[in-house]
Amino acid sequence: MIALPEQKTIKGRKLVWRGEPFTASDPLAAWQGLLKVRGVHESDPFFSPKLSGLPDPDAMQDMERAAGRVTQAVLNREHIHVFGDFDADGVSGTAILTEALKAAGARVTSSIPHRSDDGHGIGVEPVQEAVKAGSHLGISVDTGTTCFEACDEAVKLGFDLIVTDHHLPERAPERDGSSEKLPSAFALLNPAREACGFADRKLCGTGVGFFLLMSVWKRLREAGHEVEFDLRSLLDRVAVATVADVMELVGVNRILVYHGLQQLNGANSIPPSVGMQALKKIAKVKKSVSVETIGFYLAPRINAAGRMRHGEEAMRMLSTSDEDEAMALAESLDETNRQRRMVEADVFKAAELKLGNSDVLAVYDEAWHAGVVGLAAGRLARKHGRPAAVGFVTPEGQVRVSLRGRPGFHVGNLLNGCAEYLEGFGGHAGAGGGTVKADGWNGFVAAFGEAVADQSEHAGDQLTQSVDGVLELGAMHAGLAERLQRFEPVGQGNAAATWLIENVHVAENRPLKGGVVRLKVSDGAQWLDAIVFGGGAFGDALERGNIVSLLGQLKLDEYRGNGAVQFVVEDLLISE
């Protein structure tokens, strides 16, 4: 077996093989080795994601009941109210449901909760207000599974509330063979339900809403009600929501995101929505939109509205057909995002100081902004390698916490472990949150610490870096870089191929603006161009004359063109 270096990388990671170890000296051997590691073949459907490969939406538990009721409402022109959420997933889902159902002829209204004033979930008052406004049917998106009071109020008022969600249900004492506590909704569309598992439980909230629309469209056609609106026009926002919510890009999600990116890049017959076109322009996205583009440029601006002001602003941008309105809203989101970055940095620094040397990363403060505590928790989790909970204080004096984790941990299960000290909560693998009961903070911290410790036993080494293969410089060819693009979209659950280049000589080190460093490295016979983003993290390890082993990705150099390639350095080891 080929041995990886035992020493840790500059970033403190331990190298592990992703699959069967291999070394390649030419592009073809590298490609064949990668296919074997990833368990795929050239002819696999994986490399040609087709919308026809999406599963039958009616296979989702409760779908026939839910879609039948929505179809009835459309045909009868009933008033439908959509209950959204304030993050990118929630506002995207609200946007696609309202846009599509209006196009089908329904009367549709929507509401987005305010992060600090209302918190996550459907409140009792919004249900009452929807009924007063004459609505008899409600649809939630990205929320509702733990909104028991709202669902009970809906039943009481004769209001049919369909929940579409993907967050874990609360756990309850064993009863009737189930440990789930489910709301009294008219229908509950949630792949995370024990008895469901649709799409391998990997859909985001917007994805669930999209499958509801697919089922409704099928029923409308069967009823002779032809709708000209093409559901494929919604895939740009489905893709953004899926990436923003850090869903695994495999199976159904791979198909949805692949086609959403095609739309965002103008690579098919359906142009991006007016709002997404405006956001791309404001974010100065000039190259092809990728998963990385969504994660770093588009999603943060969409999320900024709900974090700093109100998610309604983002929802309107994502659903408007007016170009001037879309541009004005995109500009506003851009300014809000700048504000968010500054506030987030301040909260993170304050949280670090307040935690001190505590082993349990749980902290709150009355002065902290509700919109950035989740981001601060994410930064703490990444820095310390274990889940973190950061909270703020509501106007009612309650502590509301946001949790973030890291690979190997499941935040939704952590929350279930703290349920005794929470009034309400919700979450999935990577993120979640809840409201701490009065005088329950100390108990929550203790339970959170125990839950993290319990999961730590199964989480494995907290800082590892998977390596697909070891490449010699002779394998660094444009042909290989082009083939690697077939794995797109890459991201959570479908990582970009990571290669190790061992013991190369740094022949040139040229610093550029923004911490970017361009390198030339050599094995004594061949040369390779490399680039480092955030090169300051490596100190003087990449100085000319050093012998290093590089970890990263092989990509086409779009700047130079003409088949040029470069190695994007993500981490390295100093040769001893």
Does residue 95 carry a pLDDT above 60?
Answer: yes
Q: What are the structure tokens assigned to 269, written together?
A: 């017959």
Residue 428 confidence (pLDDT): 78
Please give the model's pTM, rounded to 2 decimal places.
Answer: 0.90
Residue 23 pLDDT level (bands cut at 50, 70, 90): very high
Does residue 174 carry a pLDDT above 70?
Answer: no
Residue 443 pLDDT level (bands cut at 50, 70, 90): very high
Max intra-chain CA distance, the chain: 78
CATH number of 490's domain: 2.40.50.140
What average pLDDT score do residues 547-568 get? 89
Does residue 562 carry a pLDDT above 80?
Answer: no
Q: Are residue 318 and residue 394 in the same domain, yes or no?
A: no
Distance of CA 301 to the CA centre of its chain: 14
Residue 173 confidence (pLDDT): 59
The answer to whether residue 304 sits within a structural domain is yes
Distance (Å, whole) CA 175 – CA 408: 29
Q: What is the number of other CB atoms lying within 10 angstroms of the CB of residue 206?
A: 33
Q: Is 422 exposed, middle or buried (0-12, 13-18, 19+ CB in 10 A)?
A: buried
What average pLDDT score do residues 66-75 get? 98
Q: Are residue 151 and residue 131 in the same domain, yes or no?
A: yes
Query: Over pLDDT 90: what percentage of the chain?
Result: 82
What average pLDDT score do residues 332-360 get? 96
pLDDT in tens, 403-421: 999 878 899 999 999 999 9
Residue 177 pLDDT level (bands cut at 50, 70, 90): low
Residue 395 confidence (pLDDT): 87
Distance (Å, whole) CA 542 – CA 35: 31
pLDDT in tens, 203-225: 999 999 999 999 999 999 999 99
Helix ranges (H only) for 20-87 are: 27-38, 63-75
- Single residue among 444, 459, 474 that ends a domain in this structure: 459
Q: Are residue 142 and residue 255 in the same domain, yes or no?
A: yes
Does residue 236 carry a pLDDT above 60?
Answer: yes
Q: Are residue 140 and residue 152 in the same domain, yes or no?
A: yes
Q: Are residue 362 and residue 499 in the same domain, yes or no?
A: no
Does residue 119 carry a pLDDT above 90?
Answer: no
Q: Are residue 293 and residue 360 in the same domain, yes or no?
A: no
Query: Over pLDDT 70: what percentage of the chain?
Result: 98
Residue 59 pLDDT level (bands cut at 50, 70, 90): very high
Residue 178 pLDDT level (bands cut at 50, 70, 90): low
Average pLDDT, the chain: 93
Residue 460 confidence (pLDDT): 56
- Single residue among 298, 332, 366 that ends a domain in this structure: 332
Residue 462 confidence (pLDDT): 55
The answer to whether residue 347 sits within a structural domain is no
Distance (Å, whole) CA 304 – CA 309: 8
Does residue 463 carry a pLDDT above 80?
Answer: no
Residue 459 confidence (pLDDT): 67
Q: Are residue 294 and residue 411 in the same domain, yes or no?
A: no
Residue 237 confidence (pLDDT): 98
CATH number of 432's domain: 3.10.310.30
What average pLDDT score do residues 67-73 get? 98
What's the total number of domains in the chain? Answer: 3
The answer to whether residue 326 sits within a structural domain is yes
- Single residue among 459, 491, 514 that ends a domain in this structure: 459
The answer to whether residue 302 sits within a structural domain is yes
Alpha carbon separation from 394 to 117, 380, 425, 435 (Å, rounded): 7, 22, 15, 9
Q: Which of 134-138, 300-304, 532-536 has the lowest mean pLDDT?
A: 532-536
What average pLDDT score do residues 332-350 get? 96
Helix, strand, coil shares, percent, the chain, to 5: 45, 20, 35
Nearest to 253 by CA among 262, 244, 243: 243
Residues contacting 471, CB < 8 A, separation 6+: 23, 24, 30, 499, 500, 501, 554
Q: Are residue 115 and residue 256 in the same domain, yes or no?
A: yes
Q: Are residue 286 and residue 324 in the same domain, yes or no?
A: yes
Q: Are residue 262 and residue 383 in the same domain, yes or no?
A: no
The answer to whether residue 7 sits within a structural domain is no
Residue 548 confidence (pLDDT): 95
Q: Which domain holds residue 133?
A: 51-332
What average pLDDT score do residues 423-434 get? 85
Does residue 461 carry a pLDDT above 80?
Answer: no
Q: Are residue 42 and residue 65 in the same domain, yes or no?
A: no
Q: Are residue 254 and residue 295 in the same domain, yes or no?
A: yes
Residue 30 confidence (pLDDT): 98
Distance (Å, whole) CA 129 – CA 295: 35
What average pLDDT score do residues 449-475 get? 86
The answer to whether residue 519 sits within a structural domain is yes
Does residue 183 carry a pLDDT above 90?
Answer: yes
The answer to whether residue 3 sits within a structural domain is no
Q: What is the end-to-end Cα distance of the chain in Å, rounded?
A: 22
Distance (Å, whole) CA 226 – CA 513: 55
Residue 563 pLDDT level (bands cut at 50, 70, 90): confident
Residue 576 confidence (pLDDT): 61
Residue 521 confidence (pLDDT): 95
Distance (Å, whole) CA 397 – CA 453: 29
Does residue 172 carry a pLDDT above 80?
Answer: no
Does residue 475 carry a pLDDT above 90?
Answer: yes
The answer to whether residue 324 sits within a structural domain is yes
Residue 81 confidence (pLDDT): 98
